[in-house]
A and B are shown apart, each in its own frame.
Chain A
C-alpha cells in the first residue's frame, strides 16, 4: 500500500517485515531513526526479536556475528565512523560467510567531523566481501532489504550485505513508498535455514585459523560466491518483480541511454536529480543518458561495457575519493571495465560532506566532459584553498 513516510521509518518497517531474530545496533546520525523505530517495534511486541543494546558499533556487529553463526537472521545499521569502528568485524562476518544485512545511511568520514552525506564510508569497505546495494529513492531503500536477505542467505552466496542509501537526503525525507505486507514478505523471503550453524549438540567452529596452505582458497571461494551473486540477484530480483511489480534483476539501470552520446554513470539519490537534468538537456537537443549502478558488489563490469559501448564519452560521478589516486572508486572501476575501448572516461568527485548537487551542476559536468576536462574535484571553492 502506498504511504508517505520518512525514509528511515520505511527502512525500519521493511526490516521488521524481514523478521530478523536478532537486532543489534548503536545509534549514530543519520541512522538513528531506523534503530529507534526497531527498538520500539521490539518493545511493543510488533517484532519478535532479541534487541541487543551495546556500548558501541564493534559490539553491535559482533553480536550479529554470534547470532548469525547460531542460525539466526541478524540485522544491524550504522554509518560513517560507526562503520569504521566495526571494520574488523565487517571482514569477519564475510569471512565466516554469515548473511547479516546491514543498512548504511551513507555519511562522510571525519576528520573534519561531518554528519552530512557522501559515500566514503561504505565505499571504503568495498573489498570486505559484502554485497553492496545502493538505493536511488526510498522505494528502493525499502525494497532492497528484502532482496538483500534473499540473496545473502542463498546457499550459492552466503555472504553479508550492505543496503546503502544517502544519509539525510533519503533517510530524513518524507515521500510515498509502496510498502509490502507481512504476507507478501513471507511469500518472498523463506525462513533463514543455514546449512551450517553453531550447535552445542553438534559442535563446530567458524572463522578458525587458516595457515598459508588454506587461506588463499578461502578468499577465492568468497570471490566466487560474490560473482555467483549476480545470477542470484537476477533470479531473486525477477521474482520480486513478478510478485510486486518492481523488477530488481538488473545490477544497473539505464535512463535515456539508447542513443546517448554522453553517458553519466552514478550511484544513489543523485541519480534522481541527474534524470531531471537529462530531461532538460534532451529538450535542448543534447544526447545525454544515465547508467545507474544499483549493485556495486558484485561489480557489473559486463553490463557497464554493454550499456556504454555506443557512447562517445563517459562522465562518472563519485561521492567518494580514493585519495592520491586518479579519482573516486566508481570512475576507477568503470575505467577498468572499459579498458581496451577508446571511449574516454572522465571522473568527477562531488557532493562530499553534504555539498548540494543541483541540476545545473550535472549540466556543467556534461559540458566539461564534452570538452575533455575531468578526473577532478568538481565545485571547489577556490577561495578556500
Chain B
C-alpha cells in the first residue's frame, strides 16, 4: 500500500485534489481511498487530505502517518506544521513554491519544488493550485496516468473550466517530467 498526504490551507482544494487523485487511480485499475482530515473547514486554516493506493481492497481507516508521498500546496505551512513528519525513506515530497528551499526534507527523501501558483495564475487566472499539483504528482509518482487524471478533471469540472485545469495540470506534469 502506498499513501499520500496533502497539506494545504482551507480553500486551496486539498480535499478535491485527494478525491480526484483517487478517482484517477481507480480509473487505472487500482483500489484507492481518499478522505479529509475531518477538520472544521475554514479558509486559510491548515488542512490535510489523504489518499491510499493498493492492488487489493483497502481496509485501514486511520489517518496517514507514514506517507510515501507528500504534497505541500503552500510553502508558508512549513514553518507552522511539521509537514514532512513520518515520510518514508525513498518517498517524494512536492512543494509549491517560487523560492529556493530554506528547509530540508528528511534523508533519503526526494524533494520536488514547483511554482504551481505561477502556473495556476497564468493558466487558470486564479492562485488555486490543486489541479496543477495533481499534474506534478502524476509525473513524480507514476501512481496515476495523465490520461486518467484528465478524465477525472473532465468529469468534475464543466467545459472550459475542465480544459483550463487540464492545461494547468499538463504544464506541471511536463515541468516535472522535463526536470527528471
User: Which residues of A pack against B, CB within 8 Å?
Assistant: 4, 6, 30, 115-117, 137, 166, 168-169, 172-176, 269-270, 272-273, 275-276, 354, 356-359
Contact = CB atoms under 8 A, between A and B. Distances in A.
A114 to B, nearest CB: 10
User: Closest 4 interchain pairs by CB?
Assistant: A272-B59, A4-B26, A168-B38, A173-B35
Given A4-B23, A174-B19, A175-B33, 4 more contacts: A137-B59, A174-B18, A273-B62, A359-B60
Interface string B64-76: 0100000000000
Given A4-B32, A6-B19, A276 B38 contact: no
Interface of B: 18-19, 22-23, 26, 31-36, 38, 40, 58-63, 65
A175 B19 contact: no
Contact of A172 (B26, B35, B62): B35
Contacts of B35: 168-169, 172-174
A30 B41 CA distance: 12
A115 B58 CA distance: 25
B63 A276 contact: no
Contacts, number: 63
A346 B61 CA distance: 23
The secondary structure that dominates the B interface is mixed
Contacts of B58: 175, 272
Nearest to B152: A4
Contacts of A137: 59
Contacts of B61: 166, 169, 269-270, 272-273, 357
Nearest to B31: A176
Contacts of B32: 4, 174-176
A30 B36 CA distance: 12
Given A4-B22, A4-B26, A6-B19, A174 B34 contact: yes
A272 B36 CA distance: 18
Nearest to A279: B59
Nearest to B26: A4
A268 to B, nearest CB: 9
